[in-house]
Structure 1
Amino acid sequence: MKSKNKNRLRLIGYILIAVILLVGAATAIFLHTARFGSLPTGAQLERISRSPHYVEGEFKNTSPTTLLVGDKSRLQGVWEFLFTDVKDLIPEKPLPSVKTNLNALPLQEDLIVWMGHSSLYLHLDSARILIDPVLVSASPVPGINEAFPGSDIYRPEAIPSIDLLLITHDHWDHLDYETLRALRDRVKAIVCPLGVSAHLISWGYDPKIIRELDWFDASNPLPNMKLTALPARHFSGRGLTSNKSLWAGYMLQTSFGNILLSGDTGYDEHFKKIKQQFGNIDFAIMENGQYNEDWRYIHMLPEDLIRAIDDLQPNRLMTVHHSKYALARHAWYEPLAKIAEAAKAKQYTLLTPKIGEPLFLRDSTQTFTNWWEKN
């Protein structure tokens, strides 16, 4: 009898080991699929290693930064994220949006079309620019991080030929494998932070059209544009390995003026330094949304966004990183409601276009509605 029990336990043990090995093998195979991209190697890694922001094998923020604030374990944070009930986390009905034909927009007009979350299409000095296009999937797993109805009106086939593709970092909600594969033959030039090109090259992009920038590096990717990569307080990574590529904001200097793209960032002293370096900021595009008190070092809370705007003092601004995905535990409309309230109190010139609604940069009289408010 004892022998039979031992054999049974041994068999169960073998089965458990086999299951663990199979799950591990399947996970390893999944993590090496093309959509995860590639890590820098060779000459690219050598260049990265010379960056003053690359320390002990990974990129570091200018201030000490942890992903989580406080005493919660990562497991506790994940549990609360998954199972805390949040009122109005997802819209009750499709979001109002405008399906503008991007091909029909006048190229000579400087403009911005927000495509939800942080995806932007711009005309600047008769050039077409695309920023962080995530038009298919913001997750490696189908069915996770689904776009809100009404926010998903743009697909890759709607995008014209692009003069400049600008990427801020490699997170899934900013670097979409399926979108970029679909756009590959329509992109003439790319600017991205150090290390990000490893993903793009593995997806078939010609390295000759890619310029990688470290913080404070400047480039002239278009005839009438000076572009400077700027610090942001964030992190990077698409799988189990983090911070092997850099994250950044940008200043775009064109005939229109200085346009700041904050990128994903927590609040830090870099905003004051940007103001000191560039002086007048004609237009700012600021991260706003997908925040959590536990993440305040890597994403700005509403009060942090106000501090950043006060530091920058832009003439006009809009916010992004909201209204398409539920990546944090706040009501979907809260980021817009809070910044609109602050703008009224502090007299910011805040512009709030719907997804797909063109914002004409040289038209100072254009106005927008509080479209996120319940009727």
Structure 2
Amino acid sequence: MKRFLRILRRTLIFLLCVIVVLGIAIYFYMKQPQFGALPEGKRLEMIKRSPHYKEGKFRNLVEKPTLSEGYSFTGEIWKALTKKYPRTEPIDVLPSVKTNLKTIPADRNVIVWFGHSSFFLQVDGVKILVDPVFSGRMTPLPGKPDAYRGSDIYSVNDMPEIDYMLLSHDHYDHLDYETAKALQPKVKHVICGLGAGAHYERWGYTAQQIVEKDWGDRVDVKPGFAIFAENTHHDGGRGFKSSQALWLSFFIESPAMNIYYSGDGGYSSRFKDIAKKHSQIDWAVIECGQYNKAWQSVHELPQEVAQATTELNAKNMIPVHHSKFTLAKHPWNEPLNEITKYSQNKNYRLATPMIGELVDLNDNKQVFKQWWKNIR
């Protein structure tokens, strides 16, 4: 019995040592710059004054469980580990177009999508870059690149000087350390949610470059041109402490046209509210991909994307958040097939450009191919 107790004690001591060593290793690993920084000092005091920051974290306007009723975290993890899902990423190289962004005339109003939620927007001569991820990865953890073949043809070197870089939220598939750090010399201003400026500050951005905003705030770009930070139903975080930086959608109001970018988030009444607050939305860029009924509260299903676009009274819609990374278990091209089906006979025009294709925002007759068809 004594011998057994000695062995048990040694085993427990060994396991405790392993846990301590792993804990120390993880602590120092998470101190690497790609994990960003938490707000502190004057920045933390600023966010504490926000009505959306309560009990140590940012909150959605209407709080509800991340997982839908009938689903559990353990059940979803078990399915991810044991169940096989077909065609979650393409076998073939995705088709794309390499548009020279630096030679686009200043008087043209265009969008160029780079896959997932990254896109370049030029309107009224103002150059805007949204949620850029050019490293080919959706996580800082070591391993092979995550981007589908053919989906990662653009780099920081391909970007022109940027007037405003917009960040919807600080998840890795929207805020990429390598990309953000390399872009710093090219970006005049970055507009992000309260708290997210801590990441950019750690990565070398100056205080003059960083513009942190709460829901409902506006940034005046020039006469008749403003960018509004609006709400969405999502969350944020790059480490163990979540929701320390606010998540946003954006409404861009310019003399030429109005554009709305949804950011990530589940369906809510915000689309009706946006339509009431901002009249005439010429183009909507809406998250459509990496969804699951289990986490429907934070990522819209395709039928909800169509409903949201209708409620926005948008004239045109581009679906994003697909065709670059696998974050959900649906077939990689299902979002495009589904939104095409749900957009039939709607009061908006669906635009489905391939990666890099120039979308002329003033051409309401531009034709977009179903480029994802017949790709394995």
TM-score in terms of structure 2 length? 0.95
Distance 1:223 1:16 in 2: 65
Question: Residue 78 and residue 134 in structure 1: after superposition, are their counterparts in 2 closer, same or farther (change >3 A)?
Answer: same
TM-fit CA distance, 1:127:
2.2
Contact persistence 1:189–1:221 (CA under 8 A): no
Alpha-carbon offset, residue 152 of structure 1: 0.9
Give, as a single letter, the amino acid of the residue that structure 1 aligns with 2:333: Y
Q: How does 1:313-332 map to 2 (within 5 A)?
A: 313-332=313-332
Shift of 1:335: 0.6
Amino acid paired to 1:278: H
Partner Cα separation in structure 2 for residue 202 and residue 192 of structure 1: 15
How many Å apart are 1:40 and its aligned residue? 1.0
Give 2:219's aligned residue: 219
Equivalent pair of 2:310/2:346 in contact (CA under 8 Å): no
1:145·1:325 contact (CA, 8 Å) conserved in 2? no
Match of 2:49?
50
Q: In the TM superposition, what whole-angstrom CA distance separates every residue of 1:317-345 from its partner, at most 9, and x where no partner exists?
A: 11110010110110110111111112223
More divergent stretch after superposition (98-107 vs 108-117): 98-107
- After superposition, residues 111-260 of structure 1 pair within 5 angstroms as 111-136=110-135, 137-143=137-143, 146-222=146-222, 225-260=225-260
| 1:254-333 equivalence runs, <5 A | 254-333=254-333
- Cα deviation for residue 3 of structure 1 reads 5.2
Name the amino acid aligned to 2:131.
D
- 2:79 partner letter: E
Tell me the equivalent position of 2:355.
355
Look up the SS of the partner of 2:115 in the other structure. Answer: coil
Structure 1 equivalent of residue 21 of structure 2:
22
Q: Please give the alpha-carbon distance, in whole angstroms, between the structure 2 residues aligned to 1:58 and 1:8.
A: 45
Judged with a 3 Å threshold, the aligned counterparts in structure 2 of structure 1 residues 145 and 331 are, in CA distance, closer, same or farther, namely: farther
- The 8 Å contact of residues 291 and 300 in structure 1, kept in 2 or not, is answered as yes
Count of residues in correspondence between the two structures: 374
Unaligned runs of 5+ in 1: none
Does the aligned pair in 1 maintain the 2:315–2:347 contact within 8 Å?
no
Aligned to 2:38: 39
Corresponding position of 2:68:
69
Give the conservation status (yes or no) of the 8 Å contact 1:123–1:129: yes
What is the CA distance between 1:143 and its match in structure 2?
A: 2.5
Question: Offset of 1:105 from its aligned partner?
Answer: 2.2
Q: Distance in 2 between matches of 1:329 and 1:269?
A: 27
C-alpha displacement of 1:348: 2.8
SS at match of 1:282: strand
Give runs of aligned pairs for residues 74-85 of structure 1, distance below 5 A. Answer: 74-85=73-84
User: 1:148–1:222: structure 2 CA closer, same or farther, 3 Å change rule?
Assistant: farther
Residues 235-260 of structure 1: CA distance to partner in whole angstroms, max 9, x if unpaired?
Answer: 01111111111001010011221100
What letter matches 1:217 in structure 2?
D
RMSD of aligned Cα (Å): 1.6
Higher mean alpha-carbon deviation, 133-142 vs 65-74, is at 65-74
Q: Distance in 1 between matches of 2:129 and 2:170?
A: 15
Counterpart CA distance in 2 for 1:67 and 1:81 is 17
The residue type equivalent to 2:244 in the other structure is K
Moved over 6 A (4+): none
Tell me the amino acid that sits aligned with residue 40 of structure 2.
Answer: T
Counterpart residue number, 1:367: 367
3-state SS in 2 of match to 1:198: helix
SS in 2 for 1:219: strand
Q: Alpha-carbon deviation of 1:145?
A: 6.9
The letter of the residue matching 1:309 is T
Identical residues among aligned pairs (%)? 41
Deviation at 1:347, TM superposition (A): 5.1
Deviations 1:28-81 (A, max 9, x none): 111221111111111111111111111122111111222111243322222223
For 2:95, the aligned partner's letter is P
Read off the aligned partner of 1:154 and give its amino acid letter: Y
User: How far apart in 2 are the matches of 1:351 and 1:364?
Assistant: 10
Q: Over residues 247-298 of structure 1, what are the superposed CA-to-partner deviations in whole Å (9 max), with x where a residue is unaligned?
A: 0101001122110011101111111010011121111001100100011111
After superposition, the C-alpha distances for 1:178-203 in whole angstroms (9 at most, x for unaligned) are 10111111111111111110110011
Rate the CA distance shift 1:83–1:162 in 2: closer, same or farther, 3 A.
Answer: farther
Partner-residue secondary structure (3-state), 1:175: coil
Q: Aligned pair in 2 of structure 1 residues 263, 144: CA closer, same or farther (>3 Å)?
A: farther
Aligned-partner Cα distance in 2 for 1:221–1:58: 30
